[in-house]
Structure 1
Amino acid sequence: ALFVSLLPRAGTVIHRVAVSSDLRLCGFTCNKDGIYTLVGRVDILDYVCRDKSVHFNTLYESRLQMNVSAGCCIITNAQKSDTGKYLLQFQEFLKRKHLVQTTECFVIDPVSVTNISVRHNGENVSDSGETVSLSVSYSGEEATVVWAWNGGALPERHQLSDSNKTLTVPSTDTGTFTALVSNPVSHSSAQYNLTLPSKEAESQSYTGMIFGIISVLVVCVACGVVYWASKEGTD
């Protein structure tokens, strides 16, 4: 399962898990004889150490699993509605119930890159020539975007904007650009191969232009010959 755990202070655990993944809530050590109670918005389960029996709340029963050897309760197929605080309490026999651990859970959407779009900007007065803007599109939340050029870091002449979603580079900086999008529970990437216009295409375009000019000149000469011939015949 994809999750991140932090320990900001004693007795508190923070989990960030992806939507549809498993949420693990641990701490059922049973070092003493007693009963654990896991509480979220409602009481979720009771776990009896003596006989290792589990009593699930019917609201969660279809999504709950208990890993006795690991001392963990697993809530499967976590959804946004599972975001919140979970309290693990323990009551030793003939003693008062006390708090063992607090877990703060955040269920977030994983990131997924959909595409990289490209826009040619033409010449810019602050640059030596044409620039190209590459923009990455993605879904998900709490995302961070990092770009790479040919597998390495970006040079200073490459400009980032729109929270790093857009990268603007000189059109002559050809090669493979990679956009890596990540959040605490996932990562996704896409690549775009930037190339210069084909020399063959440029040559064909130039040849076509010359041929067009010659054709126009030939037509003009032919029209002139016909005109003067007809004029002499009239005279």
Structure 2
Amino acid sequence: MIYKTGMICPLLILSAVTATHYVQTGADIHFCRFQCYEPQGILQLRCNVTLVLAECWNSVPIIHHILNQRLLLNHDNGCWMMKNAQKNDTGLYETLFFSSANKFKILESTEIIVLGSRSPNSRYHVPFIRIFGLCIILHIIKKVFLD
């Protein structure tokens, strides 16, 4: 049974590392894949609220609403940049596409954690605790349900 738990933990570690990005306060945050995947539809960049709302006409995004004035769009590659990251910018950012055929697609989903002015090594402390906690929970579940 330990073999099963041992195989799950590395998979969780890999997914936890790729899903979360840590940036220092004052740095720039980048979001990509803000592109029309069908000729008509709606694009959104969200983090608790809609930060950017665009309408796709002939596969070209026409921006109607930008909540945060620190957001800048590169029209050539479909990437956003948020200038001067602040602690309250921490959250789960999602780029969503709603097609005219009532289809919904998450194009990108990234957790951003904005760090304060700490030592460079402190950024590794939080992911380690999360991953260690997940492995402990999996071990407990294994003991309760599989043994």
TM over 0.5, yes or no?
yes
Shift of 1:32: 2.0
1:79 to 81, 86, 90: 86
Report if the CA contact (8 A) 1:25-1:72 is conserved: yes
Report if the CA contact (8 A) 1:44-1:56 is conserved: yes
2-structure distance, mates of 1:44, 1:101:
14
Shift of 1:109: 2.8
Could you tell me which residue of structure 1 aligns to residue 142 of structure 2?
Answer: none
Report if the CA contact (8 A) 1:13-1:101 is conserved: no
SS at match of 1:52: strand
Shift of 1:28: 1.5
1:19 to 4, 25, 44: 25
Shift of 1:93: 1.3
Q: Which runs of 5+ in 1 are unaligned?
A: 1-6, 111-139, 145-181, 185-235
Report if the CA contact (8 A) 2:92-2:111 is conserved: yes
Calculate the TM-score normalised by the size of structure 1: 0.40
Instruction: Calculate the aligned-residue CA RMSD, in Å.
Output: 2.5
More helix by share: 2
Report the residue type matching 2:44 in the other structure.
T
More strand by share: 1
Do residues 99 (structure 1) and 106 (structure 2) align?
A: yes
Shift of 1:89: 1.1
Shift of 1:96: 2.6
The 1:35/1:85 distance shift into structure 2, 3 A limit, reads same
2-structure distance, mates of 1:18, 1:85:
16
Q: How many residues align?
A: 107
SS at match of 2:105: strand
1-structure distance, mates of 2:31, 2:14:
17
The 1:106/1:96 distance shift into structure 2, 3 A limit, reads same
The 1:13/1:68 distance shift into structure 2, 3 A limit, reads farther
Shift of 1:16: 1.4
Calculate the TM-score normalised by the size of structure 2: 0.61
Asked which structure has the greater CA Rg, the reply is 1
2-structure distance, mates of 1:56, 1:107:
24
Report the residue type matching 2:62 in the other structure.
S
SS at match of 2:108: strand
SS at match of 2:22: strand
Of structures 1 and 2, the one with the larger relative CO (CA 8 A, separation 6+) is 2
